[in-house]
Every structure is written in structure tokens, then in C-alpha cells.
Chain A
């Protein structure tokens, strides 16, 4: 220590070590970016081959209507998920009324039901031949028109039912995190309850709400199941038509890349619009809700219960009825293997994707936002593509690696050449990771961001050693985010259809695969049993997600009481 030259060299060495360690964190970020880039570039490269014929036909006959339909859908779903999601979240997070405790988690449940399932159940109930319209005709005569279900109205309705939980979930956490402090302050300063909501609570929750809506809209744009059931033509149906009708994957990929461009622009606009407005709140200690009384309380209960019944209870009830009517004939041993496969794939995908999200989020934190933000944003694009298009992009990418790299190495080593990626579990899990990365990244990143360096210092200065800091500070703060991420990916993976169909190994049929096979043959009622099972499997993770988000992070609260915005 006394020799200055030696100290210098030690410092140098330490510096270099740190430099390389920091560099190392580029690895996961770029791994993920390249992984997502693979299918995306397969899609974008399609422009190398002009498809004048199909484009001319599309522009002449349908493009206008497709764009109009897609716009109606995006605006409709955006608006309705915003209204439903925020109002429900506000009631549940800030007010108290009869039934609030169970509605708190029950309102999340529609997330467990795949869009394609809700769509076919609802159309069966509400279409001309269904019970509602039959009753309508019996009461009012055959000439009184009913709502046009198989049009924009029906599709927007279905999508809203399934997708509002994204907005609800994120807005709810934001409102809970705000607590009452600032709203109370606003009210002390003379605002009415509505004024306090509009001017304080809502603007502060805006980033969370925006994330929720962008998730919902990305799913809307990528959806094929619901629009196919309603025969509602959107950009996605045009993609499928080019592929399966014209057998022109190139044109399909070109259309898909346009869709990708829309999404990228929308994400960009959202980032810009949010600008520098960032809000930080002090973690609150406990909730003091506004108790609603009399008519107000019953209105609140009635409203929440109606949403729950329409978006969840009715479709599930219908599925249960069909399952009952079909009997348990399908419940053989193969059925249990479907459940097992669904669960294993979901579990592995959830763990792997969360791990990747954690590595990328941590890398981004260490390296500084700007250095890798492009790569991170790129890695999030997988969610916005229609599942089949992404799946085929992934498959073409993996098949290429198999052929051009792995086979050559195999030949070099004198081994039998065979595929190591396509048709294996590894490829399927990577495909899930590509698709659902952005779903996992959000919660992980935000929980990591909440850990301020001051926490660690504070804990150390209070005499806690590294282990204690780890166990008592970081883990409690990270766990909710990691758990939310893993559970969301679990639920999404179990529902996932196109990539599972295209990339699964032999014998790895899942519940979603079975639903596809039955509904593809038009056997909706027989599909009720696997659909119901899928929903039941998904309910547990969704409930777990809500439970853990209800618990305040106690350690954080006690450590950081009174601290200001983060550095």
C-alpha cells in the first residue's frame, strides 16, 4: 500500500477488470436483440423480391377497407380498454365498496382466456342462431333488427373483454403505488374528488396506462383468431390470405413488415409523447381507501360485477355447459399428457424468458440507457407480429442455421447431418422467448429501476453485510417484478398457438394444439373441454400475480420513507 507505483498498477488492473466486466453485459442484450432480429430480418428481407401482381390486386380491391377496418379496431379497442381498465382500476385501488376484495383479482381473470376462445363462444351466443337472438325474435318478432354482431362492433367488444386486464393491471398497480397522499393534498388545496382524479392521479398513472394500452393494441394488431371467427378483414387477415391463399409468403412478409413499421412508429410516438415526464412516488405504507356509501357503493359493485360477468363468467359458463353436454369422453390418458406438455412448455418458457429479461434489464442498467436502448427496443418487437408470421420467420431462421452452420460442423466432424434446432424443444423455447420477451421485460425493468443505490448504502451504513442486503433489500424488491414477468409469460405461452404448432417436437401436443385441431374442423363444442382446462390452468398464475402485487414491499417502505425522486 505504501508503494505508489504498485497501487497504481492495482488500480489499473481493477479498472480493466471492471471495464471488461461491464463489456460482458453487452452479451445478453445483444443476444436477445439478435435473436429477435433473426425472424424480423427474414420478414424485412422479403422486400428484395417485388410482388407487383399481388400488391396491385390488393390496392385495387381491398387495401382501403383493410386499413379502415384496422383503424376502427385499434381506435375502438384503445378507447374501450382505456375507459374500462382505468375506471375499474381506480375503483378497486382507491375506493371501498361491497365485493371489492374479490373483484380485485377477479377482474384480472379474462386475461386467462385466449382471444380465439372468447370469440367463438361469444359468436355462438350472440349470432342469429344463438340463444339471445332467438329469444329476441321470439319476443319481438322476426323483423326487429338486432345489433350487427358480426361486424366492427362485435370484434371491438370481444377484444376489449379480453385485453382490458392489461390496462387494468398496470393502472391498478400505479394507483396503489400512488396511495392517497397526493390526492388528499390536491383536495386540501381545493380540488373536488373528480378534479383530484383528473389533475393528479390520472396524469401520474399515465406512463403505466400507456404501457397497458400499447400491450393491448399490439395484441389487437397481431390477432388472427378473433378476426377470423368474425370474418372481419384486417391487415392480419390480408397477411394470412397472401400466405395460405396465394401461397405467397413473400407478399405476406411484406405486409407483415408494414405492420411492424406501424408498431415501431407507435412505440416511438409513445416514447416521445411521454417525453421527460417521469413520476416517482414514495412507496406508501398502507392503504386508506375512500369508503363508498349507499347508491354510490352499489353502482360501483354493479359496474365491476357486470364487467366480470360479461368478460369472464359468461364465456366460461358456456364452455362449462358445452363440456358437460359433450361428456367426459375425451378425458383419456392422452389428455393428461396434453396438460403436462402445456405446463412444462409454459414453465420452461417463463423461466427462460424471465432470466433473459433480467439479464437484459440488468445489462441495460449497468451500461447506461442510451448505449443499448436501440437493441433493447428491437428485442421488444417480437410481441407485435402476428404469431404465425413470427413463427415462420423463426423457423426459416433456425432452418438456415441448421443447414448452413450446424450441418457443416457435423459433416466436418464426420457425424450424421441432422437438424439440431428445428423441431426441438430448444427452438420452441427460444421462439417463446422471442415472442414474449417484451411481456417479461416491462415488469422486470421497472422493479429493477425501483432499487436505488441509496438503499444499498443505507443498509450497509446500518451495519448489514452483503448477504443481508441481498436477502432483505434486493430480493424483496425484485421478486414481485420477476414473479409478474414469469407468470405473464407462463399464461401467454400456454395460450400460444402458431409457434407451438409449427415448431413443436413430435409428440408434444398441447391444449392449444388440440383446440386448434378441433376448431379448425369446426368442432367448437368438442373444443370446450381443452379450452376450459386451459383457462383453469391459467387462473392460478393470474391469481398469484394479483396477490403478490397487493402486498406492499415492506422492506422498501421502511428503508426509503421520505426519500425524494430517484437519481
Chain B
């Protein structure tokens, strides 16, 4: 028995070691490449998906010789990892979507402020943190999308109006668990107050044609199929649908144009508190806010550039100009848990 176990264990150990060696040699060539390069490597934790950031980092490396390595995960998980790693962290930049996540990271003390004329010049004040902990890099608008077959745009006016009786059984919404909706409701609390907002959200829930969808795309598909007539989505999801099918019988409506404007949010980044390459990381951040990078950064996901001097792509511009809500997106983070509680009370799942 003993011998047998020894043999078996020996075999298993040998196998494990072999595979580990294969694994190490696999990452080995990366290590060598880094050594031959004198320039520093900037390390990014990114909640923005690989296919959206890889090309732009590659371009940065081409232009400057500075390498960028990154891992992707959800914002919550990355924030937790930064917290747990403390001063040990290899990360120089945290790149994530939604101001709520950025605000949270800032609250946790994971960023250090960046004093940069370039960034101040490139990124408008309401799209960055007051304490300069983070900077918005692209703008995403959450707006109304309606069926061109069953809705006349004159019926539409504001987010609030979707709570009216005329939309009974005609509204589809994405789940309240998604941070986009939490931010929308948080900014509504900020401007309208909690009581009014709760009435509106209850009205939405009342008007739902079906239980909330798990993503924007399936909510739009439900509108297309006739299950409901209007929904709230981020414009780039609509953009994807339109790219696949230019004749799609849906259209964008910009609400609240006579009032506070369309709800916008950002994707953005900040320098981590324990960054090992703060100068190189700041240079990357500044470059990302520059006109040449902004175009590509926004276009990769059909978003709007955060840098006001850069025009959105033609495809996006074709949806028309709109007035955006200029409330500082930080309020979305501050009021996020209030918003979730409010939606829970209103029965919005």
C-alpha cells in the first residue's frame, strides 16, 4: 500500500510539475520581452473589456515604447483586490465604467490625486472627481429607445413621464441590479428628491409589460418583438443593434431636453495610491484624454468622447445632438445605495 501510494503520488507530482513548468515557460517569454525593454511597464486593472482597450494600449506602446499590461474583471472585484493588496499591488491605474464605481474606489482611498494641467484642460469638471482622484474618459448616455412602428416621438418627453398611465403595459426595463439604472435613479434623487423619485420609479414598475430584463439588448429585442414599446438603454447598445441591422425599427429619443438633460455617465480611470510607476501611469492617463486617443477610445464602444474638443464618430453623431445633464457624476456614487434601497421599496427588481 505504501509503495503504491508513493508511486501514484510520484506520478501525480511529476505530472503537476511538468505542467507547471510548461505553464512557466509559457509566461517566460513575456518576462524576457520586458527585460530587454528599458521603458517601464504600466499595469492597469480594467473593468472595461479586453477587446475595447487592447487596441488602444497597443497603439500607445507603438507610439511611446511603453508597455501596458492589464487584467480585466468586474469593478467590484478589482476594487476588492486593490484593497486587499494594499501597498503590494502591482496596479498603477484602475480603469472602470460608471462613476459609482470610481466614487467608491475613491472613498476607499485607493486613488491618489493627479495634478495635471493636461487632464484639467481635456476633461470637463463635471466628468471628473472634485479631489482629482479620477477622470472620465468616455461618456455614455442612458436614454429612451422606442419602437418606430408603435410610438410617435411626440408622445415622449421625459424619464419621469414614462411613469404616466399612457405607458401602462408598454414599458420594458433592464434589472435594477445593473449599476446604470442605479446611477440614473441616484441622479434623479439628487435633482428631484427622494419622495418624487420613488413615485416615479413605482410608476415605472406599474407600467412594466414584463419582468425586468437582464440586459439592455434583450430589453430592446422585446420592444422589437412587440412585447413593449419603449425602454431605457445606453446608446451604444442601440448602436450595436443598428450596426447589425441599419433598418432596425427602433429609434433614440433624447428626454428632458427642456429640463436637466439626458442622464450621462462615464468610464474613467485614476492613479492608484500605491502605484509603482506613477509618472508613466500619469502619462498614459494624459494620453488617453488627448484628442488623438479620445477618438479611438470612444469609438471602440460607440460612446461619446469625454474631451469636449473631440467630435463623436459619424455613426454616433447621426443620432443627433442632445443636452446632457451636467450634474457632477459623483453624485451617482454618493447616492447609489439610497437608489438601490428606493428601487427595492418600489418593487423594481
Please report A residues at the B interface, Cβ cutoff 8 Å. Answer: 57, 61-62, 123, 127-129, 133-134, 142, 150-151, 228-231, 233, 237, 240-241, 243-247, 249, 340-341, 344-345, 347-348, 351-352, 354-355, 358-359, 362, 388, 391-392, 395-396, 399-400, 402-403, 407, 417-419, 422-423, 425, 456, 466-467, 470, 474-475, 478, 482, 498, 501-502, 504-509, 513-514, 517-518, 520-524
**Taking chain A's interface residues, is the majority helix, strand, or loop, or is none over half, making it mixed?**
helix
Is B211 touching A475 in the complex (CB atoms < 8 A)?
no
A388-B77 contact given A231-B214, A417-B88, A504-B71, CB 8 Å threshold: yes
Q: Tell me the complex Cα distance, A465–B49, Å.
A: 60
In Å, the complex CA distance between A508 and B70 comes to 10
- Closest B residue, CB atoms, query A518: B49
Q: In whole Å, how far is B133's beta carbon from the nearest beta carbon of chain A?
A: 16
Which A residue sits closest to B50, measured CB to CB? A517
Q: List 30 A-B contacts (CB under 8 A).
A: A57-B341, A61-B344, A123-B218, A129-B224, A133-B225, A229-B214, A245-B179, A245-B340, A345-B23, A352-B16, A355-B16, A395-B81, A396-B84, A399-B81, A400-B84, A403-B86, A422-B84, A422-B85, A422-B88, A470-B3, A470-B4, A501-B74, A502-B73, A502-B77, A514-B50, A517-B50, A522-B216, A522-B217, A522-B237, A523-B240
A423 touches B344 (CB 8 A): no
The 10 closest A-B pairs by CB, nearest first: A129-B225, A399-B84, A129-B221, A244-B76, A517-B49, A355-B12, A61-B344, A522-B215, A474-B4, A128-B227
Check if A351 sits within 8 Å of B90, measured CB to CB.
Answer: no
Given A134-B225, A231-B349, A351-B215 contact (CB < 8 Å): no
Closest chain-A Cβ to B205's Cβ sits at a distance in Å of 13
Q: Which residue of chain B is the closest to A127 with respect to CB atoms?
A: B218
Q: B49 to A129, Cβ gap below 8 A?
A: no
Query: Which A residues lie within 8 Å of B218 (CB)?
Result: 123, 127, 129, 522
CA distance A522 to B12 in the complex (A): 41
Which residues of B are found within 8 Å of A244, using beta-carbon distances?
74-76, 179
Q: Verify if B69 is at the interface (C-beta below 8 Å from A).
A: yes
**B: which residues have CB within 8 A of A?**
1, 3-5, 7-9, 12-13, 15-16, 19-20, 22-24, 26-27, 30, 43, 49-52, 69-77, 79-81, 84-86, 88, 90, 104, 175, 177, 179, 182, 210-218, 221-222, 224-227, 237, 240, 336-337, 340-341, 344-345, 349
Residues of B within 8 A of A498 (CB): 77
* Complex-state Cα separation, A466 to B6, whole angstroms: 13
> Of B80, B336, B345, which is in contact with the most chain A CB atoms at under 10 Å from its CB?
B80
Residues of B within 8 A of A340 (CB): 26
> Are A392 and B345 in touch, CB under 8 angstroms?
no
Q: Is the CB of B3 within 8 A of A228?
A: no
A359 to B12, CA, bound (A): 11
- B residues less than 8 Å from A352 (CB atoms): 16
| Contact assessment for B104 and A247 in the assembled complex, using a CB-CB cutoff below 8 Å | yes
**Are B340 and A241 in contact, CB atoms less than 8 angstroms apart?**
yes
Residues of A within 8 A of B71 (CB): 504, 506
A402 to B89, CA, bound (A): 11
Q: Which residue of B lies closest to A526 (CB)?
A: B51
CA distance A362 to B85 in the complex (A): 37
11 additional contacts (CB under 8 A) given A245-B337, A396-B80, A509-B72? A61-B344, A151-B211, A231-B349, A247-B104, A249-B80, A345-B23, A358-B5, A399-B86, A402-B88, A466-B3, A517-B49
- Among residues of B, the one whose C-beta sits closest to the C-beta of A509 is B50
Contact A506 B69 (CB under 8 A): yes
Does the CB pair A392–B177 fall under 8 Å?
Answer: no
- Using Cβ atoms and an 8 Å threshold, which residues of chain B touch A123? 214, 218
Query: Contact: A129 with B222, CB < 8 Å?
Result: yes
Most B-side CB within 10 Å, residue of A142, A151, A470: A470
Q: Which residues on B sit within 8 Å (CB–CB) of A241? A: 177, 340
Taking the closest CB of chain A, its distance from the CB of B278, in whole angstroms, is 17
